[in-house]
Amino acid sequence: MTRWLLMAAAMLSAVASHAASKDWRAEVSAELRAFTESPVDTRQHGANLSLSAEVEYHNAWDDGRHALTVRPFVRVDQHDDKRTHADLREAVWTFHDSGFEVRLGVDKVFWGVTEVYHLVDIINQTDVLENPDGEQKLGQPMLKLSRETDLGTIDLFLLPWFREREYPGKQGRPRTQPRIADELSSYSSDQGRHHVDVALRWSKNLGDWDLGIAHFRGTGREPRLLPGFDGDGELVLKPRYDVIHQTSMDLQGVVDSWLWKLEALTRSDAEDDFIAATGGVEYTFYGVADSSSDIGVLAEVMWDERGEAATSPFNRDAFLGMRWVANDVDGTELLAGVVSDWNNGSRFINVEASRRIGNDIKVGLQARAWAAVDRQDTLYGLRRDDYVELKLTRYF
């Protein structure tokens, strides 16, 4: 714990020393989670406090043809030693000229269009320690070559180092029951995390529509979870990473007040050959009641041919939600929705809201609950992990 506290202090010192420079920005956050029920595992706690810091340095030269971005992140957690962690989100050199771009280093790339589950987003590993929603990603070492033409943009990725997914520890919450022991991870490839992955993506704007088609060959980011025992003889789940081939597409279109979204893939690995898809629509009511506010209604479905054997809990599910954007100077927003499993009736409820206070402070509130969770559902271990999270962020 001491070394993490020292790292956090060093980053906070960097914030104070460099935030005034035009090439630096930073943020420091305090996060409090309060759980509404007693935990399934008595080693877990009813509340949790954590602190995080992120610093970003950016510098461009040669009329913007070259740029360097470095963005480290660190979190110190009250109870979970696994969640006390650091990551280099970005450390990337960029060169671009006449429609050609090179990115070399540790970088982040996002593919996808849907709200709930980013099915085709595979370049970066998910940072489950930060948030179980899958939105946060670990930095990925890569070489990316891009070329823009009238026929679209071609991106080629060389990924020389695989990053394992890390999971909450024994005191971490929320987490699965039994816990996932990432220290017992294994690979289908003899090269393990040194397996070199490659990906190719073509994307193009087609008027009101944006289309992307990609192929990935390498170590899959979502592991299979196999039962086993840790060094203490405790029943755990052991991650198993397979080499996969994945061909995917993502499509998004704007038609009047409608936003249409689709992600689909076909994947083959050591165990399965399957297809999966997620898609939906968002309709926005602008200027509600003659105000500046907009309200969007969202609906999505998620389907995986493997059913309950899928590595994702979203395999036979439907989502219905609402997004409210105040369009005020404080950036007030609210998103609320329910994901329901249409086979067993299990439900996941999510509410998140945020608002700025002045120019430098942001307050975020998030509430999550799991209701009527079926014993056979992969989310059953979270049935008593409902929580409310308050987050305060200071920007520099």
Task: Quote the CA–CA distance of 181 and 169 in Å, as a whole number.
Answer: 8
**Residue 15 scores a pLDDT above 90:** no
Q: Report the 3 state secondary structure along the chain.
A: CHHHHHHHHHHHHHHHHHCCCCCEEEEEEEEEEEECCCCCCCCCCCEEEEEEEEEEEEEEECCCCEEEEEEEEEEEECCCCCCCEEEEEEEEEEEEECCEEEEEEEECCCCCCCCCCCCCCCCCCECCCCCCCCCCECCEEEEEEEEEECCEEEEEEEECCCCCCCCCCCCCCCCCCCCECHHHCEECCCCHHHCCEEEEEEEEEECCEEEEEEEEEEECCCCEEEEEECCCCCEEEEEEECEEEEEEEEEEEEECCEEEEEEEEEEECCCCEEEEEEEEEEEEECCHHHCCCEEEEEEEEEEECCHHHCCCCCCEEEEEEEEEECCCCCCCEEEEEEEEECCCCCEEEEEEEEEEECCCEEEEEEEEEEECCCCCCCCHHHCCCCEEEEEEEEEC
Average of per-residue pLDDT across 39-61 = 97
**Residue 13 scores a pLDDT above 70:** no
Please, which pLDDT band fits residue 378 given cuts at 50, 70 and 90? confident
**C-alpha count within 13 angstroms, C-beta hemisphere, residue 56:** 14
> What percent of the chain clears pLDDT 70, i.e. is strictly above it?
94
- pLDDT computed for residue 240 by the predictor: 98
Pairing mode, strands 85-97 and 66-77: antiparallel
- pLDDT computed for residue 270 by the predictor: 83
Residue with tokens 């759980």: 35
CA 104 to chain centre: 22
What does the pLDDT look like over 80-124, one tens digit per residue? 999 999 999 999 999 999 999 999 999 999 999 999 999 999 999
**pTM of the full predicted structure?**
0.92
Q: Average pLDDT, whole number, for the chain?
A: 94
**Is residue 289 classed exposed, middle or buried when 0-12, 13-18 and 19+ CB atoms within 10 A define those classes?**
exposed
**Residue 11 scores a pLDDT above 50:** no
> Could you tell me if 240 and 220 are in contact, meaning their C-beta atoms sit under 8 angstroms apart?
no
Average of per-residue pLDDT across 55-64 = 96
Task: Quote the CA–CA distance of 280 and 317 in Å, as a whole number.
Answer: 12
What does the pLDDT look like over 153-205, one tens digit per residue? 999 999 999 999 999 999 999 999 999 999 999 999 999 999 999 999 999 99
> What percent of the chain clears pLDDT 90, i.e. is strictly above it?
91
Please, which pLDDT band fits residue 271 given cuts at 50, 70 and 90? confident
Q: Which residues are within 8 A (CB) of 175 and not within 5 positions of it... i.e. 6 or more apart?
A: 44, 167, 168, 381, 382, 385
**Residue 20 scores a pLDDT above 60:** no
Lowest mean pLDDT among 4-18, 203-217, 229-243, 360-374: 4-18
Average of per-residue pLDDT across 290-295 = 97
- pLDDT computed for residue 46 by the predictor: 98
CATH number among 3.30.300.30, 2.40.160.100, 3.40.640.10, 3.40.50.1860, domain 2-395: 2.40.160.100
Please, which pLDDT band fits residue 23 given cuts at 50, 70 and 90? very high
